[in-house]
Amino acid sequence: MGRFRLDTHVKVLDERVVERAKARGLDGVVYAPHFTRLPDIRARAERFSEEDFVVIPGREVFTGDWRNRKHVLAVGLSDPVPDFITLEGAIAEFERQEAAVLAPHPEFATVSLEAHDIRAHRERIHALEVYNPKHLETHTRRSRELAAEFEMPAFGSSYAHLRGTVGEVWTEFDRALGTAADVVAALRDGVPRSVRRRDGLEHRLRCGAEFTHLFYENSWGKIDRLFLSGTEPTHPDHIAYGGRFADVSVY
C-alpha cells in the first residue's frame, strides 16, 4: 500500500529545501510564506515541483487586526485572499473556493484559533495541527486535547521558517497522492494519516532555533514597516483585490 509523506507547512522554498525534504523521505511540502500573493506562491511552487516531489501552494492568512490576529492555513485556493480580514470573512471565502482549511498551532501565543473559534467553525475546518517545532510540551498537549474534543483530523508540520527545520515533522497519509489536487482532497476528506517527527538532540536544537526566530517574526516594528501602509501585496486595500474584501477588512 502506498504512503505519502507531507511537510504540511513551510515558509521557505529553494533548491536546498527540496534537497533536504527529499533526503528526509518526504514526497511533498505545502509552501505558504507570509505576506505573499497567491500567484507568486503558485509560480514558485511550480518552479520547485518535480516528477517525484510536489510543492502545494498554500496561504496562511492573518485574520483580525495585528494585535488580535488568528492564523488560518488554506490549501487549494483558486483566487487570492488578503491578510487582515475578519475570520468569518476568510473562512467563508475559503469555503467558496473549496479549499482545505487547516488550523495551525491552535491556542499558541496570540496568533491562533482558540477553542471557541474552532467550535464556531467546526464544520468548515478540515484539520487541526497537533505538533510543530515551535510548540512547547504544553502546546502539544493542548492541541491534542482540542483535536480529540472536536473529533478533528490531525496534521503536523515543521512550520519551517529556517531551511534546516524542513522535514523535522510531517504528516503521513496511508495512500499515495500524486498531485496537489490529490493532497487538497485528502486534507478535505479526512483521509487517514499519522503525525510523525524526528527526535533526539538535533531535533531539539532545531526546535530551539525556530522558537527563537518567533520573536523576530512577531516584531510590531517589522510589521508596521512592512504592512500597514495599504500598498503591500496582501493588504486588503491593495489594487489587486479590486475592493472585493472591503466589507471584511479590519484596516
Three-state helix/strand/coil letters over the chain:
CCCEEEEEEECCCCHHHHHHHHHCCCCEEEECCCCCCHHHHHHHHHHHCECCEEEEEEEEEEECCHHHCEEEEEECCCCCCCCCECHHHHHHHHHHCCCEEEECCCCCCCCCCCHHHHHHCHHHCCEEEEECCCCCHHHHHHHHHHHHHCCCCEEECCCECCHHHCCCEEEEECCCCCCHHHHHHHHHHCCCEEEEECCHHHHHHHHHHHHHHHHHHCCHHHHHHHCCCCCCCCCCCCHHHCCCCCCCECC
* pTM of the predicted protein model: 0.94
pLDDT recorded at residue 206: 87
Q: Rounded to whole angstroms, how far apart are CA atoms 13 and 20? A: 11
Q: How far apart are CA 74 and CA 100, in angstroms?
A: 6
Domains and CATH numbers, the chain: 4-241 (3.20.20.140)
Amino acid at 171: T
- Among the listed residues 152, 95, 148, 99, the one whose alpha carbon sits nearest the alpha carbon of residue 122: 152
The pLDDT of residue 234: 94
List per-residue pLDDT tens for the chain, 251 residues long: 699 999 999 999 999 999 999 999 999 999 999 999 999 999 999 999 999 999 999 999 999 998 888 999 999 999 999 999 999 999 999 999 999 999 999 999 788 999 999 999 999 999 999 999 998 899 999 999 999 999 999 999 999 999 999 999 999 999 999 999 999 999 999 999 999 999 999 999 988 888 887 766 655 445 554 555 556 899 999 999 999 999 999 98
Q: What is the pLDDT of residue 216?
A: 62
pLDDT at 220: 47
232: phi then psi, degrees, rounded to nearest 5:
-75, 160
Distance CA 220, CA 118 (A): 26
**Strand 70-75 versus strand 100-103 pairing type:** antiparallel
Rg (CA), the chain: 17
